[in-house]
A and B are shown apart, each in its own frame.
Chain A
C-alpha cells in the first residue's frame, strides 16, 4: 500500500481472528456443524452415493457381459451360416458330380450302342461286299472258262475237252 492509508479506528483490536472472546462460540458451533455434516454424510449421503456407484459399476459389468454373450452368439450364428453355406456348396457339388456321372454313363451307353450298330452295319456291309466279290469272281471264272473254251475251240477244235480247260482256268485263277 504505497498510499499509506490511515488505519481506521473501527478495526481497533487488530485481527478479529485473535479476539479470544469469540473462540468458545466459534469452536462450539464448529463442532456442532462437523457433527451434523458427519451424520448427514455417514447416515445418508455416502451410503447412497456408494450404492449408486456400486450399482452402476454392476450394471456396466452386466451389460458388458451381456454384450460379450451376444457377440459370442453372433459369432456362432455366423459360423452356423458359413457351415450351412459350405454344406449347401458341397451338396451342390455332389449333385453336379452325380448328374455328370449319370449323363456320362448314358452317353457311354449310347456310344456303345452306336458302336455296336456301326459294327453290325459294317459287318453286314462287308458280308455284302464279300458276297458281291465272290459272285463277281465266280462270274469272272465262268466268263474266263467260256472264253477259254471258245478260244480253244477256235484254235484247235475237238482236240481238248471242256473238263481239262475248266481245270486249267481254275488253277490259273487261283495262282
Chain B
C-alpha cells in the first residue's frame, strides 16, 4: 500500500478496499454489473448454504460438527425472536434468520485477507434497515390499526409531559433506520480501514513489528465486532418487531 516509504511519503489508501468495481472488464458499474460486491454476496449465500443446508443433510439425531453449528445458529436466532418479539413473532423468524445469516457471513467473509465486505456499505445496510423499518411500520398498522400510534403516546407519563414525549418518540422512531444502518456499516468500515492503515505502516521497517502486532490485535477485535454487529442488528430488528406487534407500553 505504501508505494515509497523511504521518501517519508507513506501512501495510504485505506478506503480503496471499499471501492465497488466490475469483476470482469473495466466498464462503469451499471445496475446489473457483476461486481466484487456481487461476488462476496454470492459467497455469503454459498456459505449459508454450506452451513445450513449441506451441514445438516445427514439430519442426525446426534449431530455432526457442522450440524451442531447450524442448530446453534438456528436456536440462537429462534430464541432471540421468541424472547423479544414473543410467541406471535416466531412466524417472522425466517426473515430475521435471513438478515442474521447474511450479515454474519458478509462480516466474517469480509475479514478474509483481500476480501470485500458488502455490509461496510451504507447502500447495503441502509436497504436492510429501511426494509426492516418499512416492514415493521406496515406490520404495526396492519396488526393494530390506528392504535399502533399509542406506541408514541407514553400513557405511564404525566399528562403534561405526554405531547413532548410523543414528539421525542416520533423523532426517535424515524431515526431508527439511520442508526440501525450506520451502526453496522460504520463498524465494518472503521475496523477494515484501521487495519489497512496499520498495514501501510508495516512498510516502515522500524515500526513494522508494532504494526503487525496492532493488525493482529485489531483483527481479533474485528472478529468480535463482526459477530456482535450481526447480533446487534438482529436483536434491534426483534425489538422493532416487538413494538409493531405489541405497541402498548
Contact = CB atoms under 8 A, between A and B. Distances in A.
Interface of A: 1, 3, 5-8, 10-11, 14-19, 21-34, 36-38, 40-42, 44-46, 48-53, 55-56, 59
Given A25-B20, A29-B37, A59-B61, A48 B44 contact: no
A21 B75 contact: no
Contacts of A42: 94, 98
Max chain B Cβ within 10 angstroms of own Cβ: one of A21, A30, A50: A30
Contact of B45 (A19, A40, A59): A40
Interface in B193-231: 197, 200
Nearest to B120: A17
Contact of B29 (A22, A49, A51): A22
Interface residues of B, dominant DSSP: helix
A6 B128 CA distance: 35
Nearest to B3: A8
29 contacts: A1-B197, A8-B11, A15-B15, A15-B189, A17-B123, A17-B189, A22-B29, A22-B35, A22-B123, A26-B35, A26-B123, A28-B32, A29-B41, A33-B42, A34-B99, A36-B45, A37-B101, A38-B98, A41-B48, A42-B98, A44-B53, A45-B48, A45-B53, A46-B93, A48-B56, A50-B74, A51-B59, A52-B60, A52-B71
A59 B60 CA distance: 12
Interface residues of B, number: 58
B113 interface: no
B184 to A, nearest CB: 12
B28 interface: yes
Contacts, number: 152
A63 to B, nearest CB: 10
B61 A56 contact: yes
Given A17-B123, A46-B93, A49-B56, A7 B12 contact: yes
Contacts of B101: 37, 41
A46 B74 contact: yes
Contacts of A16: 15-16, 18-20, 121
Contacts of A30: 41, 118, 123-124, 127-128
A55 B71 CA distance: 13
Given A1-B197, A8-B13, A45-B70, A40 B35 contact: no
A34 B105 CA distance: 12
Interface residues of A, dominant DSSP: helix
A44 B14 CA distance: 40
Contacts of B13: 8, 10-11
The 3 closest A-B pairs by CB, nearest first: A45-B52, A22-B20, A33-B41
Given A33-B45, A40-B45, A53-B75, 19 more contacts: A5-B10, A7-B12, A8-B11, A17-B120, A18-B122, A25-B35, A26-B121, A26-B124, A28-B31, A28-B32, A29-B35, A30-B124, A33-B42, A34-B102, A37-B48, A41-B98, A48-B56, A49-B71, A59-B61
A55 B12 CA distance: 55
B239 interface: no
A135 B70 CA distance: 128
B175 interface: no
Interface in B66-86: 67, 70-71, 74-75
Contacts of B124: 26-27, 30
A23 B59 CA distance: 40
A27 to B, nearest CB: 5
